[in-house]
Amino acid sequence: MTPSLLHQTLRAVARRYRLPELPGAAPDLPESDPATALAIAIEQTRACLARGDAPDEATRRLFIEALAHLIRYALREPNGDPVFQAMVLRHRTPRVREHAALGTHASRDRRAVRTAVDALAHPGKRRSLAPGPVNDALAQLHAAAAAASWAALSDCAGRMLAMPGATLDAPLRQGLAQLLDDPALARLMRLDALASDPLVRRYQALWDRQGPRPGSTEAAEQGAQSRRRGDAVEAMAATTLDAWARLLAQDEGKPFRVATSLRVPSSMPGDPERAKTEWDVALLRRSGDVDGDADGDADGDADGDAVAAAAWDVCLLVEAKASVDAATTDLPRLLRGLRLLANADADTVYPFDCRQGVVRLHGASLSALKTDDAGLAATVLYFCDAPAEASPRLLGAASRMQLLSAPASLDFASRLADGQAAQPQELEPVWLQLMESPRWSAVLNQYPMLRQVRELMVHPDDLRDAIDIASRPAA
């Protein structure tokens, strides 16, 4: 049973990220936010299908017209969506499409070519060669690979193969021939040749507006900053729950503790694929229902052997997120993670690794975990210190991008970009996919998921205030 003070606190904590009620109808489209109109149309569609009814013509028209407006807004210059504009440019331009396709495995191709060059011209190999034209040419070959000068590398290899027959031994000649015939080198040279095309440069510039390129120093630094930000939010969550655990222990007369980076053991029954298998912070209560229970102080920091031997019940699972969007995309994995934990055998004690060592969790508390609204509200929190928006977006970022990147949407946008007439009715295939395709289920259910995430999300200040209020003695 949920401890009373924990239950009171969870009920009392303010939910500043909670969504407002979804409007029953969209305002006139020319004056409204098309994303909001789309969210309304999608939710009306979902509700109709859930009742077993077919959406009416007004809902279909609202969806199609709102999507058309969203596409036009995204194409605006200079304040549109650069990512979508890049996608449209790729969709309508064969050489941009070719450049993008080559870029998807360019890193692998670079590694393959450099490995082949190292096998022939690595400085360590050249030490055994006498000074002269071959050694010098191999040095140039290696320098060209290091500088990613693929055309220069090809020219150098070709010049070496044109040397007199006795100049190169057979293995070196064979290696150079294989290098020149390598499709990876051909792809890299083609990628470089396309890079100077004006439309390809425009495409790359659009992508660069969303942030640094993958693999760049700037991207690495940005990733490091994001990890530091996430670590800071997680540490804040752990500190808050640690203080809460001491208050709960005083109220219940039973030890509580906090575990961070709680990792699900491989012995857990069920399929872990795409499920959350590591939980940021867990609030645990000493279990009295299994052998090995041991006495300890209020916060679970008693004698190390006793704590290690004890079994614990899961009271609360907390995920720390730096943004609302991060939590929204995380929810499906979290739900699969809860279902994985719920596969536990009620009579088994499972060893979970965490930053504090190994903690033994009683299977009965795991098997009791639920994924319905009431179960989630009692056992899961998203912990976030981002400011709450004055006007929350009702259309999630992932859903918006899936709608924009549908083939019919890109066809419609391409015609607009080419100055051709385009009618909203051309977007009906997207509407049909939304209603019929399992691949679109996340978009169809995007508003309930967004609402659910925000119901589970708390700000650290609000949680601390609720803990303080719930722990005060009754007047």
Digit-coded pLDDT (tens) for 255-314: 999 999 999 999 999 999 999 999 999 999 998 755 544 333 334 444 455 555 789 999
Query: Using CA atoms, how far apart are residues 370 and 360, in angstroms rounded to an integer?
Result: 20
Query: Using CA atoms, how far apart are residues 331 and 171, in angstroms rounded to an integer?
Result: 56
Please state the φ and ψ torsions of residue 421, each to the nearest 5 degrees: -75, 135
Query: Pick from 210, 242, 275: which residue ends a domain?
Result: 210
On whether the pTM is more than 0.85, the answer is: no
Confidence at residue 168, expressed as pLDDT on a 0 to 100 scale: 84
| Alpha helix (H) residue ranges in 93-216 | 94-104, 106-121, 123-126, 133-146, 150-161, 170-181, 183-195, 198-208
In a domain, 130, yes or no: yes
Confidence at residue 234, expressed as pLDDT on a 0 to 100 scale: 92
Confidence at residue 213, expressed as pLDDT on a 0 to 100 scale: 67
Query: Pick from 367, 383, 399: which residue ends a domain?
Result: 383
pLDDT in tens, 114-127: 999 999 999 998 88
> Which range scores top for mean pLDDT: 22-36, 81-95, 318-332?
81-95
pLDDT in tens, 205-238: 999 887 766 666 776 777 778 788 888 999 999 9
Confidence at residue 240, expressed as pLDDT on a 0 to 100 scale: 95
**179 and 311: one domain?**
no
Instruction: Say if residue 128's pLDDT is above 90.
Output: no
CB 375 within 8 A of CB 314: no
Q: Coil, strand or helix: which one is 210?
A: coil
Range of the domain at 315: 230-383
In a domain, 279, yes or no: yes
Return the percentage of the chain with pLDDT > 70, whole number: 91
**202 and 238: one domain?**
no
pLDDT higher at 164 or 156: 156
Instruction: Say if residue 73's pLDDT is above 70.
Output: yes
Instruction: Say if residue 142's pLDDT is above 50.
Output: yes
Instruction: Say if residue 3's pLDDT is above 60.
Output: no
Instruction: Say if residue 204's pLDDT is above 50.
Output: yes
Instruction: Say if residue 64's pLDDT is above 80.
Output: yes
**288 and 355: one domain?**
yes
pLDDT in tens, 417-427: 999 999 999 99
Confidence at residue 298, expressed as pLDDT on a 0 to 100 scale: 38
> Which range scores top for mean pLDDT: 30-39, 162-171, 322-331?
322-331
Confidence at residue 361, expressed as pLDDT on a 0 to 100 scale: 97
Residue 378 exposed, middle or buried by CB count within 10 Å (0-12, 13-18, 19+) = middle
**256 and 361: one domain?**
yes
**152 and 245: one domain?**
no
Please state the φ and ψ torsions of residue 82, each to the nearest 5 degrees: -65, -35
**244 and 374: one domain?**
yes
Confidence at residue 29, expressed as pLDDT on a 0 to 100 scale: 54
CB 243 within 8 A of CB 467: yes
Query: Using CA atoms, how far apart are residues 311 and 307, in angstroms rounded to an integer?
Result: 8
In a domain, 22, yes or no: no
Give how many domains the chain has, as a whole number.
2
In a domain, 49, yes or no: no
Q: Residues 342-360: what's their mean pLDDT? A: 96
**153 and 122: one domain?**
yes
Task: List the structure tokens of 417.
Answer: 């970009």
